[in-house]
């Protein structure tokens, strides 16, 4: 079964409605890293979008924060998000396959991908979202196989 990014986003929203809100969290490029980290901790998220005039200009994930510590040391919290964000992050489209997304993330060694619908940011997918989807698909296939085996002709 080759699901699309749109289906994965829909499933993520359904999962989020049972636990945490599935809102997109963003800060401005001149926001301090300390404020961005506080948002990430408070919302229990591992990435934050950087927007300038409602346009995504970058992304901060845990990887960018680690690079920021390396570059800025103890002054990282006072740095602006524009100084540590990943500019022009790779993006997915709604009609991309989950296999394509998984390949992109694996090839580029990234954990989060913004999802665009034309020029509008509609979500963020993480490797965790892909893993949860794979587990769900494997469970479904497992149930089908067990049902098939139970009904095996004698």
Q: Is residue 136 part of a domain?
A: yes
Strand-pair category, 26-27 with 120-126: unpaired
Helices 62-72 and 33-43, interaxial angle, to 10°? 150
Burial of 154 (0-12, 13-18, 19+ CB in 10 A): exposed
The predicted model scores a pTM of 0.80
The confidence score (pLDDT) of residue 18 equals 47
**Sequence-separated (6 or more) residues with CB below 8 Å from residue 96:** 4, 5
Q: Give the CATH number, domain containing residue 101.
A: 3.10.580.10
Our count of domains for the chain comes to: 1
Q: Is residue 95 part of a domain?
A: yes
Q: Is residue 154 part of a domain?
A: no
Chain center to CA of 78? 25
Instruction: Tell me which residue range forms the domain holding 89.
Output: 5-149
The confidence score (pLDDT) of residue 16 equals 64
Per-residue pLDDT of the chain (154 residues; tens, 9 = 90+): 578 999 999 988 877 654 444 578 999 999 999 999 999 999 999 999 999 999 999 999 999 999 999 999 999 999 999 999 999 999 999 999 999 999 999 999 999 999 999 989 999 999 888 878 666 666 556 667 777 777 777 6
Q: Is residue 48 part of a domain?
A: yes
Question: In this structure, are residues 36 and 131 in contact, taking their beta carbons and an 8 Å threshold?
Answer: no
């Amino acid at each position: 079964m080759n699901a699309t990014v749109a289906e994965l986003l829909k499933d993520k929203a359904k999962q989020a409605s049972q636990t945490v809100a599935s809102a997109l969290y963003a800060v401005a490029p001149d926001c301090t890293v300390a404020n961005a980290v506080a948002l990430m901790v408070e919302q229990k998220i591992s990435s934050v979008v950087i927007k300038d005039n409602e346009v995504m200009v970058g992304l901060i994930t845990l990887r960018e924060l680690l690079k920021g510590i390396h570059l800025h040391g103890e002054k990282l919290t006072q740095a602006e998000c524009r100084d540590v964000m990943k500019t022009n992050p790779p993006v997915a489209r709604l009609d991309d396959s989950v296999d394509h997304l998984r390949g992109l993330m694996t090839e580029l060694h990234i954990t989060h991908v913004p999802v665009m619908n034309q020029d509008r940011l509609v979500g963020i997918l993480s490797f965790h979202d892909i893993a949860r989807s794979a587990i769900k698909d494997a469970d479904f296939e497992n149930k089908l196989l067990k049902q098939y085996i139970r009904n095996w002709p004698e």
